Amino acid sequence: MISNFISSSENETIQIGKDFSSQLISGDIVELIGDLGTGKTHFVKGVSLGIGVKKSAISPTFTIVNEYNGGRIPIYHIDCYRLLNSKELLEIGIEDYFFGEGVCVIEWGNKIEEFLPLRRYQCEFKYGEKVNERIIEITKLEKI
């Protein structure tokens, strides 16, 4: 199943994330792929708002994982941009997040693709033709 969206502002990307979040359940994995500045963190902001988290999502660039509680499910916001190797990933206990109660939303998830469960949402972010345009393609990957 593939869904395509065109966003023409930050707020539209937040809304797309918010709408998408309504289908998320405990244990879901959401992989975000796309160049710098294509809107991944804004999308996560929408997901966390949709889940009912009060504190808004910030980029976890320095911490790798930010946990947001207070919504209908916990959110583990993971950013792999600065991740140097997979050893670092195992050190932060990535499996505990994958198999935890919450939803994992993973920026730059393509850097850790070999560790990701097959059953997941894959969201691809691209620049559109106009300045503030972003293309978001969401695919649900499942075992066949």
Please report, as ranges, the residues that interact with ligand ATP according to CB under 6 A. 7-10, 12-13, 34, 36-42, 59, 81, 107, 125, 132, 134
Query: Among ligand ATP, Mg ion, none, what does residue 120 contact (CB within 5–8 Å per kind)?
Result: none
Residue 130 or 143 with smaller CB distance to ligand ATP: 130
The H-assigned helical ranges of the chain are 10-21, 40-51, 86-91, 94-98
Dihedral sign computed on CA atoms, order 67, 118, 24, 58: positive
The least distance separating Mg ion from the CB of residue 1, rounded to whole angstroms, comes to 25
What's the min distance (Å) between Cβ of 107 and Mg ion? 5
Residues that bind Mg ion (CB under 5 A): 40-41, 59, 107
d(CA 21, CA 127): 22
Q: Look at residue 52 and give the partner it binds from ligand ATP, Mg ion, none, a contact being a CB closer than 5 to 8 Å depending on partner kind.
A: none
At 35, the amino acid letter reads D
Q: Which is nearer to ligand ATP, 15 or 29 (CB)?
A: 15
What distance in Å separates the CA atoms of residue 126 and residue 90, rounded to the nearest whole number? Answer: 29
Whether the Cβ atoms of residue 32 and residue 109 lie closer than 8 Å to each other: yes
